[in-house]
Amino acid sequence: MPGLIVMKFGGTSVADAERIKRAAGRIVEKREAGHQVVAVLSARGKTTDELITMAEEVSAAPDPREMDMLLSTGERISCALCAMAINDLGHRAISLTGSQAGIVTDESHTKALILDVRAERIRGALEEDNIVLVAGFQGVSRDARNVTTLGRGGSDTSAVAVAAALGAEVCEIYTDVAGVYSADPRIVPNARKLETVSFEEMLEMAASGAGVLQLRSVEYARNHGVRIHCRSSFSEEPGTVVLAEGETMEQPLITAVTHSDREARVTLTGVPDAPGAAARIFGALAQANVNVDMIVQNEPASGGGQAEISFTVPREDLRVARAALEPLVGEAFAELSSYEEMGKVSIVGAGMRSHPGVAAKVFSVLAREGVNIDMISTSPIKISCVIDRDRVEQAVRALHSAFELSGEDTILVEDTFRASPTS
Amino acid sequence: MPGLIVMKFGGTSVADAERIKRAAGRIVEKREAGHQVVAVLSARGKTTDELITMAEEVSAAPDPREMDMLLSTGERISCALCAMAINDLGHRAISLTGSQAGIVTDESHTKALILDVRAERIRGALEEDNIVLVAGFQGVSRDARNVTTLGRGGSDTSAVAVAAALGAEVCEIYTDVAGVYSADPRIVPNARKLETVSFEEMLEMAASGAGVLQLRSVEYARNHGVRIHCRSSFSEEPGTVVLAEGETMEQPLITAVTHSDREARVTLTGVPDAPGAAARIFGALAQANVNVDMIVQNEPASGGGQAEISFTVPREDLRVARAALEPLVGEAFAELSSYEEMGKVSIVGAGMRSHPGVAAKVFSVLAREGVNIDMISTSPIKISCVIDRDRVEQAVRALHSAFELSGEDTILVEDTFRASPTS
């Protein structure tokens, strides 16, 4: 018997009446195939941005609790409209707010964490033969008093959390791209759609700029064993399945090249070379909810017990980061400078574990292209380089080509070394 | 000590960022004068219409439960934005949905009735020194499971109900007009703003087309002894206070001329002259939530045990009314015809009780103007005439002038009779 499926539709998939009806049609197809269906919806197209603009028009620093009250309306609108469209197709549908769906979070407004999904009401509605639509991106605080939101892209996490709570067969994430690619097809036209990718690779890819899935949702899925299928809401083709590592068939050396062109670098000079200075700096940033990516610390040759710390943050967090560090000038560091025009290019692949030659090949490819590497960070399955923003596309193309990611064949470790004279 | 005030702002008063900030300023003024303040807000400007359009784009007959989920977002947006603006002015504000504010309704989606206001959370927030913003127009069903809405204009009723539950000193209704006038100033430029008006007069005026206050809210206010003050959100001038009849100072013969140009007439012919036919007809209309206004029944001279029934409904209800009556063709009546281009003109005044001469004067004024009267209905303090839509403005001006409503003086009953040769 077909099982329970969670389907998640992103903002572009519910952007207008036509698309909402199309999503309703996809949902009904699954129901008619015998599945029980829960669909998690994002706000329509630009709705969230419009609501944020409204807030900025009335207040310089909108209150976070009120921001959540405001932003949570977008997904409710999508769900109510989609429920109407499904009812029109002759099926019963009911829309639930995050609160009604039992998505319980902590109290950190605008960046709440899901603590629990109390899915009794969803289950009850499914048993009464309803298709259930759940407003993504939102929940209710523990004491059931306040609406919370999960932060940008939180609808993916809502969907995975609901899938986990219900023990769904699969969590299908519908977007306007057909799956996960070996690189952004807008930059690399012959990029390859990946049939499968491991959680670990997907985590690294989400963290390093691949916009298909939100990082938190992948973590949640890995921790709760939820199978994710990323696919297009505009075609019937299968997309990319995210699996536990043991389940994947092939283990290519490199899976994909990802990139971001929205990085900013902050440099702090005159940091006392004493315990506690770095802790105060990064403590203040954490307090302000700034995601710090790479960190480099140098002790200048001139010495004097003064160090220099550089780190990168998403460009949109730069203003908040500067504000958070302002009070520490003259204490934890002497001077702050920042540069907004940074980007990042990364290669990700479960097969590169314990193969340091890959890093060498990355550096030689970028050197050949004349791309200067500003900062480097590595993990067992990822190498990231911070570079100038206007060199990002060139770097992505060069790496994708050097690692032959468009082909059908996977590159063996030996090939890599042969192709890499500096290793 | 200044008491608790409920302030209600309509859609035009919160239509954009500038107006929301102005409303926030008005609210803060009251708070700074020492009042505890609860503000009930409508959806911004055209928001509700836009949401209805969205629903119509996805569904031919939107599900009422989902319609409520959809429409209730508009007022939440207004409240969250206004709370942000108040916080920016250095005061603490918290926005509450109808559900959070404890507005409990029955289950009739899109036309729910308020059953109770469980105001503990509002009181708690006020005691913690907050200004409380409540989303108008909405509530939660008895079992606390579903969002409901109160129907068009329901925000007035929300405000009055909250004022009643809290024992507020006054419920101030802010709109884009300065108060209640002796006639629509767009039609009668020298119409007079009324300082006070009785509940009974206000009820008749609301029922007969004066758009300042929703009928239900006036009934609720009368039944719960809530003092209403209708005033402009764009000026500091006092508006019109709605009082119990004993409280009003003056008792003019005629208070105002009201009108509507959105009436439709339905005529049913071949109604069996037997018990039960009319009950079935108006039962079906009530079931469909159609507000029937005037009803006239004629037995044609040709006889044959067949009667003819005509009635008026708001033009926007005509489609629903026809659909509700369709199944009764050939049973409760033979044929249905309708005419959409009707209007209504009414004169209202507590002083006209037991003065039939007023009706005679109305008829003679309209006769002199060559306005044909299609249907008539009277109450102790109101006379309404259904007339052709395109004669409404002329009739309003003629009646306003004949009853000298623009002047400072009230007309005495004797004057009326003298001026009315047909009485």
Give A4-26 pLDDT, tens digit per residue. 999 999 999 999 999 999 999 99
Residue A226 in tokens: 């939820």
Same domain, B151 and B42: yes
Give A352-385 pLDDT, tens digit per residue. 875 668 888 999 999 999 999 998 888 888 899 9
Weakest mean pLDDT among A88-97, A207-216, B90-99, B392-401:
A207-216
Mean pLDDT, residues B75-101 taken together: 97
Say if residue A333's pLDDT is above 70. Answer: yes
- Provide the pLDDT confidence category of residue B356 given band limits of 50, 70 and 90: low
User: Distance, in angstroms, between A138 CA and closest chain B CA?
Assistant: 14
Q: Over chain B, what is the mean pLDDT?
A: 89
Question: Which pLDDT score, from 0 to 100, does residue B303 have?
Answer: 57
- Report yes or no on B115 lying in a domain: yes
Q: What is the CATH number of the domain that holds B398?
A: 3.30.2130.10
Same domain, B159 and B51: yes
Say if residue B75's pLDDT is above 90. Answer: yes
Q: Does B301 touch chain A (CB under 8 A)?
A: no
Question: Which pLDDT score, from 0 to 100, does residue B302 have?
Answer: 62
- Provide the pLDDT confidence category of residue A304 given band limits of 50, 70 and 90: low
- Provide the pLDDT confidence category of residue A251 given band limits of 50, 70 and 90: low
Same domain, A17 and A130: yes
- Report yes or no on A233 lying in a domain: no
Which of B128, B143, B176 corresponds to the end of one domain? B176
For residue A84, the chain B residues in CB contact (below 8 A) are: 55, 58-59, 62-63, 66-67, 70
Same domain, A373 and A255: yes
Give this complex's ipTM.
0.79
Question: Which pLDDT score, from 0 to 100, does residue A354 have?
Answer: 57
Q: Give the pairing of strands B131-135 and B170-175.
A: unpaired
Contact criterion met (CB below 8 Å) for B178 and B232: yes
Same domain, A420 and A297: yes
Q: Does B73 touch chain A (CB under 8 A)?
A: yes
Pairwise pLDDT comparison (B355 vs B349), residue with the higher score = B349
Residue to mutate among A66, A82, A95, A146, with most B CBs inside 10 A, is A66
Give B378-391 pLDDT, tens digit per residue. 888 889 999 999 99
**Which amino acid, one-letter code, is at B84?**
M
User: Distance, in angstroms, between A10 CA and closest chain B CA?
Assistant: 18
Question: Which pLDDT score, from 0 to 100, does residue A298 have?
Answer: 79
Same domain, B160 and B271: no
Pairwise pLDDT comparison (A250 vs A183), residue with the higher score = A183
Residue by residue, DSSP assigns A38-82 as: EEEE---TTHHHHHHHHHHHH-SS--HHHHHHHHTHHHHHHHHHH
For residue B14, the chain A residues in CB contact (below 8 A) are: none
Provide the β-strand partners of residue A131: A93
Same domain, A165 and A65: yes
Question: Which pLDDT score, from 0 to 100, does residue B244 have?
Answer: 84
Same domain, A155 and A286: no
- Report yes or no on A199 lying in a domain: no
Among residues A226, A263, A240, A251, the alpha carbon closest in space to that of A175 is found at: A240
Question: Which pLDDT score, from 0 to 100, does residue A416 have?
Answer: 33
- Report yes or no on B226 lying in a domain: no
Q: Does B17 touch chain A (CB under 8 A)?
A: yes
Say if residue A153's pLDDT is above 50. Answer: yes
Residue B24 in tokens: 């926030």
With b meaning 16 or more CB within 10 Å and e meaning fewer, what string describes A399-409?
Answer: bbebbbbeeee
- Report yes or no on A208 lying in a domain: no
CB–CB contact B65 A20 (8 Å): no
Give A191-204 pLDDT, tens digit per residue. 999 999 999 899 88
Give A120-145 pLDDT, tens digit per residue. 999 999 999 999 999 999 999 998 78
Range of the structural domain that residue B345 is part of: 247-423
Question: Which pLDDT score, from 0 to 100, does residue A419 have?
Answer: 32
CB–CB contact A66 B95 (8 Å): yes
Same domain, B141 and B15: yes
- Report yes or no on B367 lying in a domain: yes
Place of tokens 């958070």: A324
Same domain, B141 and B282: no
- Report yes or no on A243 lying in a domain: no
- Report yes or no on B136 lying in a domain: yes
Among residues B79, B145, B63, B151, the alpha carbon closest in space to that of B114 is found at: B151
Question: Which pLDDT score, from 0 to 100, does residue A394 have?
Answer: 96
Say if residue B419's pLDDT is above 80. Answer: no
Question: Which pLDDT score, from 0 to 100, does residue B409 have?
Answer: 45
Mean pLDDT, residues B164-177 taken together: 94
Task: With residue A366 as reference, give the H or E element that holds it.
Answer: helix A357-368
Same domain, B256 and B113: no
CB–CB contact B63 A82 (8 Å): no
Which of A145, A176, A207 corresponds to the end of one domain? A176
CB–CB contact B58 A81 (8 Å): yes
Which of B176, B204, B239 corresponds to the end of one domain? B176
Question: Which pLDDT score, from 0 to 100, does residue A423 have?
Answer: 28
Q: Does A73 touch chain B (CB under 8 A)?
A: yes
Same domain, A165 and A79: yes
Q: How many domains does chain B have?
A: 2
Share of chain A above pLDDT 90, in %: 67
